[in-house]
Amino acid sequence: MSLSTHLPHWGWSAFFNAQLELRPLKEGEVIARIINQERDLYRIIYFNHEDLEQKAVAQLSGRFRFEHGESQLEFPGVGDWVICQPHSHGEEAIIHEVLQRRSCFYRKEAGNSMRAQIVAANIDMIFVAMSANQDFNLKRLDRYMSIAWDSGASPVILLTKADLCDDVEPLLAEVETHHVGVPVHAISATDPESIEPLKTYLQPGKSVVLLGSSGVGKSTLGNLLLEKEQLKTQDIRAADDKGKHTTTSRSLYQLPSGALLIDTPGMRELGLLDHQAGFEDLFEDILTLSQQCRFGDCQHDTEPGCAIQAALESGELTMERWESFQSLDRELRYVQRKTDAELARQERLKWKKIQQGLRVRLKMKSRGEI
Ligand SMILES: Nc1nc2c(ncn2[C@@H]2O[C@H](COP(=O)(O)OP(=O)(O)OP(=O)(O)O)[C@@H](O)[C@H]2O)c(=O)[nH]1
Ligand SMILES: [Mg+2]
Ligand SMILES: [Zn+2]
């Protein structure tokens, strides 16, 4: 079966094509890309037998759920390429397989440490957005940058709302020295020219994801790049309401430039990462103190030169505060360990599956079956 020549416009590449040698399409199956996800409902794009672009609502097959029920990271997310089977009328489909990802990032669920969920898959570039107003915070940027580096895609830092900052130059310089080699741009929705430099990243078939805290202007930028008001943005009146975020699900859009853009909801939705962020801000004094301990791996117990013990003695740090830090810290470490173990297990499973596939192929080859 020959594939649609339009697939590369949605980001299809040789990397995915090669996977079809191991798992060829069966009768009636098509290649599709996930363009939106809301819980277990997926919206997909594919090309029908007349090679026309078709959107459909898709669900995972029972067999897929059964086989991958334990490992959330194997479930599809926005940007994933899947093998699916459309129903006869074409507007609904069943997802059978998720192709191996070239890059991805996931969120850990706060309440349930064993669960992690794909935020965006198969992305080439991450626009890490942080506003240049009073919300500017280098530590938070660091956290987003570590998600970005882990994903396998290349980050670009955007200082948004530059119009709300008297002088953006010092911030630019600070970010540049902190993240050497990462492109940094100051942009403002009120100044279309500030968006122009971003267009060099928006090459046809390349996928870009917008990442950053709620309210930094991701969807506003998305609309400017889409050249139309397609994404819902926060009401001006609601701008002080930090409790809610405007974008509630992740979606992929085709830009006029031919690039693909994924908009994501803000930080709160990023689960545990957010908790850790809040934690670090909450106990900034203690984290600063602990950097002053003589030994880098100080347990803040009986070590000589411990800045925490000294602060407890002098009264600078109360015992109550130190204890609440310790209990939260223990909890977070525990959650982190559990999640890491689960992720490692899923990674091993994935490689096992790939190896098994190869073994089957070799066997078939030796028997002259392929
Ligand atoms: N002054 C100024 N306001 C901006 C700019 N960009 C966005 N805003 C405003 O900031 C608010 C939040 O913008 P959104 O685009 O909805 O933010 P978001 O990052 O998509 O937020 P979530 O969807 O909640 O994650 C809106 O009221 C925008 O009008 C900018 O460059 N300058
Ligand atoms: Mg938004
Ligand atoms: Zn110490």
Per-residue pLDDT of 189-199, as tens digits, reads 999 999 999 99
Residue 165's Cβ-side half-sphere holds a number of Cα atoms within 13 Å equal to 20
CATH architecture of 274-352: Orthogonal Bundle (1.10)
Query: Picking from 2-16, 90-104, 243-257, 300-314, which range would have the lowest pLDDT averaged per residue?
Result: 243-257
What tokens appear for 25 in the block?
């399409």
How would you write 55-94 as a 3-class SS string? EEEEEECHHHHHHHCCCHHHCCCCCCEEEEEECCCCCEEE
126 lines ligand 1 (CB under 6 A): no
Answer yes or no: is pLDDT of 179 > 60.
Answer: yes
Look at residue 314 in the predicted model and tell me its pLDDT: 95
Report the Cα–Cα distance between both ends of the chain, in Å, rounded: 17
210 lines ligand 1 (CB under 6 A): no
What single-letter amino acid sits at 269? E
Q: Could you tell me the pLDDT band of residue 320, with boundaries at 50, 70 and 90?
A: confident
CA–CA separation, 137 and 161 (whole Å): 14
Tell me what the mean pLDDT of segment 307-318 comes to.
93
Answer yes or no: is pLDDT of 350 > 50.
Answer: yes
Please give the angle made by the CA atoms of 39, 30 and 202, to the nearest 5 degrees: 70
CA–CA separation, 64 and 68 (whole Å): 6
Tell me what the mean pLDDT of segment 15-34 comes to.
94
Look at residue 122 in the predicted model and tell me its pLDDT: 95
Residue with CA nearest ligand 1 atom 1: 161
pLDDT tens string 221-238 = 999 999 988 888 877 544
Over the chain, what is the mean pLDDT? 84
Residue 34 pairs in a beta bridge with 44
Of the candidates 70, 39, 72, the residue with the CA atom closest to the CA atom of residue 58: 39
Answer yes or no: is pLDDT of 343 > 80.
Answer: no
What single-letter amino acid sits at 72? Q
- Provide CB contacts within 8 A for 105, sequence distance 6+: 118, 119, 120, 123, 126, 147, 148, 150, 151, 153, 209, 211
Tell me how far the alpha carbon of residue 316 lies from the centroid of ligand 3, in angstroms. Answer: 14
- Provide CB contacts within 8 A for 62, sequence distance 6+: none
Could you give the percent of the chain with pLDDT greater than 90? Answer: 48
Out of 234, 240, 245, 247, mutate this one to test ligand 1's pocket (max ligand atoms within 8 Å of CB): namely: 234
> Strands (DSSP E) along 132-249, which ranges?
154-160, 184-186, 207-212
Look at residue 77 in the predicted model and tell me its pLDDT: 94
Query: Picking from 104-118, 135-149, 202-216, which range would have the lowest pLDDT averaged per residue?
Result: 104-118
More confident site: 75 or 88? 75
More confident site: 367 or 5? 5
What is the phi/psi pair of residue 236, to 5°?
-55, -45
Q: Could you tell me the pLDDT band of residue 140, with boundaries at 50, 70 and 90?
A: confident
Tell me what the mean pLDDT of segment 40-68 comes to.
93
- For residues 215 and 239, the answer to whether their CB atoms sit within 8 Å is yes
pLDDT tens string 267-292 = 554 443 444 555 666 677 888 888 89
Residue ranges of domains in the chain:
7-100, 122-269, 274-352
Out of 233, 242, 244, 267, mutate this one to test ligand 1's pocket (max ligand atoms within 8 Å of CB): namely: 233
Look at residue 193 in the predicted model and tell me its pLDDT: 95
Residue with CA nearest ligand 1 atom 10: 217
Query: What is the full DSSP assignment across 286-353?
Result: HHHHHTTSSSTT--SSS-TT-HHHHHHHHTSS-HHHHHHHHHHHHHHHHHHHHHHHHHHHHHHHHHHH
Out of 198, 220, 250, mutate this one to test ligand 1's pocket (max ligand atoms within 8 Å of CB): namely: 220
Look at residue 274 in the predicted model and tell me its pLDDT: 46
CATH architecture of 122-269: 3-Layer(aba) Sandwich (3.40)
Q: Could you tell me the pLDDT band of residue 243, with boundaries at 50, 70 and 90?
A: very low
How would you classify the pairing of strands 41-47 and 260-263? unpaired
- For residues 211 and 221, the answer to whether their CB atoms sit within 8 Å is no
Look at residue 354 in the predicted model and tell me its pLDDT: 66
250 lines ligand 1 (CB under 6 A): no
Locate all alpha helices (DSSP H) within 169-271, ordered by sequence: 169-178, 218-226
More confident site: 366 or 172? 172
What tokens appear for 39 in the block?
């819980």
Tell me what the mean pLDDT of segment 208-223 comes to.
92
- The 3-state DSSP composition of the chain as helix, strand, coil percent (nearest 5) reads 40, 20, 35
Query: Picking from 7-16, 36-45, 135-144, 277-286, which range would have the lowest pLDDT averaged per residue?
Result: 277-286
- Provide CB contacts within 8 A for 276, sequence distance 6+: 143, 332
Look at residue 241 in the predicted model and tell me its pLDDT: 45
Instruction: Give the CATH H-level superfamily of domain 7-100.
Output: Nucleic acid-binding proteins (2.40.50.140)
Q: Is the pTM of this model over 0.95?
A: no
Look at residue 1 in the predicted model and tell me its pLDDT: 57
Could you give the percent of the chain with pLDDT greater than 70? Answer: 81
Tell me how far the alpha carbon of residue 30 lies from the centroid of ligand 2, in angstroms. Answer: 31
Shortest-distance atom of ligand 1 to CA 239: 27
